[in-house]
Amino acid sequence: MSEQLAPAEAGGDHAMVEVRGLKTYYDEGALRGDPVKAVDGVDFTIEKGETLGLVGESGCGKTTLGRTLVQLERATDGDILFDGEDITEYGSAEIKEWRKNAQIVFQDPESSLNDRMTVGEIVREPLDVHDWPALSVEVRGADDATIAGDGTVPDADSDRTSDITVDPRATGEPVTVRDRLPFSAADVEVDIDRDGDRVTRVTVEVIPSKHRLRQQHVRNLLAEVGLQEEHYFRYPHQFSGGQRQRVGIARALALEPEFVVLDEPVSALDVSVQAQILNLLEDLQEEFGLTYLFIAHDLSVVRHICDRVAVMYLGNIMELGDTEELFGDPANPYTTSLLSAIPEPVPGQQQERLTLRGTPPSPRDPPTGCPFSTRCPVKIRPPEYRDLDPDVWEGIDLLAEIIRQRQQTDRSIREIVKETLGLERQFAEVDDVVIELFGFLAEDRPPERPAEDHADAVIAAVPDPVRPPLETIVDHLRADDLEAALDVLHAEFGSVCDDEFPAEYPVSDSGRRSLCHRHQDEYRDPEDVFETITHR
């Protein structure tokens, strides 16, 4: 892991990347129904030189977030500030220019390289698109001199070193060439026109053609990522997955970006190759002073390489903070569940495994309130149900889930017609569900007893105070009124977790924050509640 820079040391007073209220929605528009809220309002910063990890399960929006940061997706709302400037406001020409600063490495080494092009061509293409190198010339001590020949005027905004620096006052060699360029001062011819003492014009001629320079640069890059120079003429076919990923990395580094988004760069690779690529990424970061956003679903990899980690769920950042702290002492219930689900490569360890129930909700229809409310094992309950039998509580949760899923199901025309004609109830198997969820409370069902009767018996066995509202709910379901059933469920068993979207609370001195209602003083902390669950 690279050294964590204190904010004051970071370049300038801007963080390298600052994201405010970013939202990326897909499929918006009246005809398409609900939009997919892939990224639903996130804020964070990335300091220069650090590696921020972004983890989450599929559908949480981490890939979309990464892609939005490199402008492969349009942000629907919010700002992305890069070195202090809002890139969401850029026009297409500015974006193209900006792209030199931020690049992305893709996940799938099979699909991220065009098989018809040689490796050399692949890595070279970005250079051709941007007419690299710009050959910017800085003339020391003469800001108003005109630049002629191959040289160009350096970009005023950029604080990068110019490619060629000419110092007319120098006694020795007047020309210095930036380190990473594949030519040296010996390849440059400079003509300085003076008017008396003042330098009026500097003509710069670079002997090797740009074509040559690019070829050499590509060869240098290939060597840097651990491939051999003769691989320039080979096709991606002829390489293994790990080597192809190296080519992808070389390509991302071709334009010398400062910020690189790594979208699951090692997920598709074998274990032993993963280690090679991770080491390579760290070496490159150190050598070139890169800033990384490392997107992954493999938490142990993230733990190894990232300075700070953001945990995403359903388009929101649930927790963000220093890696070791977060892994050692997770504050957010989702983080805790996620961490406990990782299978440790240590056999025989009786893991305190918390197996999360259910599946994440659809990003088209996120829950009101906290996004994790449908699955949270430590969800806040109304006070009267605090000490309820957890199995009964789970039954209630599952019932809510099932009803919600039913609501969302696309029913076939036939089914809708049958319903309208009253030939089939939407919730035809209420009784079966009741028996399934709460049947453990009563005795086993004798085979001749009809489902409805047994369901009633089961309900009767449910303890107070759950039974009355449950009876009402089941009545609503039997009458096919899913809405009313959900309303009762919500009113009776719901809490702030279902109603309000939680705020972010700081959970440690190092600036870690977590999105959860339980961090408020009036509720117990998540860790405490987890203790009671696991130590049952």
Partner 1 sequence: MPDDDPPLLAVEDLHTTFYTDKEDIHAVQNVSFDIEAGETVGIVGESGSGKSVTARSIMGLIESPGRIQPGSSIRFKGEELTGKSEKEYRKIRGSGIAMIFQDPLTSLNPVYTVGNQIKEALRLHQGLRGKEATEAGIEVLEAVSIPDPRRRMREYPHQFSGGMRQRAIIAMALACDPDLLICDEPTTALDVTIQAQILELLEEIQEERGLSIMFITHDMGVMAQIADRVNVMYAGEIVEKAAVEDLYNSPRHPYTQGLLESIPGRNVGKERLSTIEGDVPTPNAVATSCQFAPRCPEAFEACDRIHPSMVEAEGYGRDHTAACLLYPEDLSEADRIDHHRERETPVEEREPTEDPR
Partner 2 sequence: MHEEPTTITERIAANPRPALVWLAVFLALFALEAGALIQGVIVLVERIIVLLPTEAGLSAVTGAKQAAAEIPTLISREVIPNYGYRTPDGAWVNTFPENLPYVDSGLEPKWAWLIRNVLAFGYAAALLGWILHGYNVFRREYREADWTPRDDALGRFRRHTWGKAGFVVVFLFITMAVFAPTLGPTTVDRNIVQPYSYELTYLNEETGELDTVTVGTANTESRSAGAGDQNFGPWSYDNYDRFHPFGTLPQGTDLYTFMASGARVSLFIGLLSIAISGTLAATFAMISAYYKGLVDLALVVTGDSIMSIPQLLLLILLSAVFAGHWLGEIYSGGLLLALIFGFSTWPFLWRAVRGPALQVSTEEWVDAARSYGQTPRKTMTKHMLPYVIGYLMVYASLFIGGIIITTSALSFLGGGLGVNSPTPEWGRAIAAGQDYVATQSWHVALIPGVLIVLVVTGFNAFGDGIRDAIDPESEAGEGETEIVGGGAG
Query: At its nearest, how many Å lie between partner 1 and the CB of residue 279?
Result: 5
x-or-dash string of contact with partner 1, 280-309, rule CB under 8 A: --x--------------xxxxx-xxx----
Site for partner 1 in 43-82 (CB under 8 A): 57-58
Q: Which residues pair with 438 in a beta bridge?
A: none
Contacts of 369 (CB under 8 A, 6+ apart): 496, 497, 498, 499, 500, 501, 502
Of 188 and 435, the one with the shorter C-beta distance to partner 1 is 435
Query: At its nearest, how many Å lie between partner 2 and the CB of residue 46?
Result: 18
User: Whole-angstrom Cα distance, residue 489 to residue 149?
Assistant: 76
Of 124 and 308, the one with the shorter C-beta distance to partner 2 is 124
Query: Angle of helix 467-478 relative to helix 430-438, nearest 10 degrees?
Result: 150
Q: Which does 272 bind (CB under 5 to 8 A by kind): partner 2, partner 1, none?
A: partner 1
- Interface segment toward partner 1; rule CB under 8 A; list 70-78, 333-341, 465-473, 518-526: 333-341
User: Whole-angstrom Cα distance, residue 235 to residue 121?
Assistant: 10
Half-sphere exposure in the Cβ direction for 120 (13 Å, CA): 16
Inter-residue contact 381 to 493 (CB < 8 Å): yes
> What is the contact surface with partner 2 in residues (CB under 8 A)?
67, 70, 72, 95-96, 99, 103-104, 106-108, 110-118, 125-126, 129-130, 212, 215-216, 228-230, 232-238, 241, 248, 251, 254-255, 268-270
User: Whole-angstrom Cα distance, residue 248 to residue 114?
Assistant: 11
3 state DSSP class of 25: strand
Q: Which does 401 bind (CB under 5 to 8 A by kind): partner 2, partner 1, none?
A: partner 1
Q: Which residues pair with 37 in a beta bridge?
A: 25
SS3 content of the chain, % helix, strand, coil (to 5): 40, 20, 45
Of 216 and 472, the one with the shorter C-beta distance to partner 2 is 216
- Separation of first and last alpha carbons in the chain: 38
- Cα–Cα distances in angstroms (integers) from residue 284 to residues 263, 322, 491, in the given order: 16, 22, 55
Site for partner 1 in 428-457 (CB under 8 A): 429, 432-433, 436
Residue 375, token pair as written in the block:
């699955």
Inter-residue contact 484 to 476 (CB < 8 Å): yes
Of 117 and 341, the one with the shorter C-beta distance to partner 1 is 341
Of 268 and 380, the one with the shorter C-beta distance to partner 2 is 268
Query: At its nearest, how many Å lie between partner 1 and the CB of residue 61?
Result: 14
- Interface segment toward partner 1; rule CB under 8 A; list 144-152, 187-195, 352-360, 507-515: 352-360
Inter-residue contact 291 to 49 (CB < 8 Å): yes
Q: Which does 355 bind (CB under 5 to 8 A by kind): partner 1, partner 2, none?
A: partner 1
Query: At its nearest, how many Å lie between partner 1 and the CB of residue 429?
Result: 5
Instruction: Kindly tell me which residue out of 6, 93, 156, 346 binds partner 1, with binding defined by CB under 8 A.
Output: 346
Of 99 and 379, the one with the shorter C-beta distance to partner 1 is 379
Inter-residue contact 7 to 47 (CB < 8 Å): yes
x-or-dash string of contact with partner 1, 399-428, rule CB under 8 A: --xx--xx--xx------------------
User: Whole-angstrom Cα distance, residue 318 to residue 336?
Assistant: 11
Query: At its nearest, how many Å lie between partner 2 and the CB of residue 362?
Result: 22
Half-sphere exposure in the Cβ direction for 49 (13 Å, CA): 15
User: Whole-angstrom Cα distance, residue 248 to residue 252?
Assistant: 6
Of 344 and 521, the one with the shorter C-beta distance to partner 1 is 344
Contacts of 350 (CB under 8 A, 6+ apart): none
Of 216 and 340, the one with the shorter C-beta distance to partner 2 is 216
Of 137 and 306, the one with the shorter C-beta distance to partner 1 is 306
CA 208 to chain centre: 42
- Interface segment toward partner 1; rule CB under 8 A; list 157-165, 199-207, 256-264, 275-283: 275-283
Among 505, 504, 513, CA closest to 325: 513
Query: At its nearest, how many Å lie between partner 1 and the CB of residue 449?
Result: 16
Q: Which does 368 bind (CB under 5 to 8 A by kind): partner 1, partner 2, none?
A: none
Contacts of 90 (CB under 8 A, 6+ apart): 98
Of 228 and 300, the one with the shorter C-beta distance to partner 1 is 300
User: Whole-angstrom Cα distance, residue 15 to residue 366?
Assistant: 31
Q: Which does 235 bind (CB under 5 to 8 A by kind): partner 2, partner 1, none?
A: partner 2
Q: Which does 96 bind (CB under 5 to 8 A by kind): partner 1, partner 2, none?
A: partner 2
Sites of contact with partner 1 (CB under 8 A): 1, 57-58, 240-243, 270-276, 278-279, 282, 297-301, 303-305, 337-338, 340-349, 351, 353, 355-356, 359, 398, 401-402, 405-406, 409-410, 429, 432-433, 436
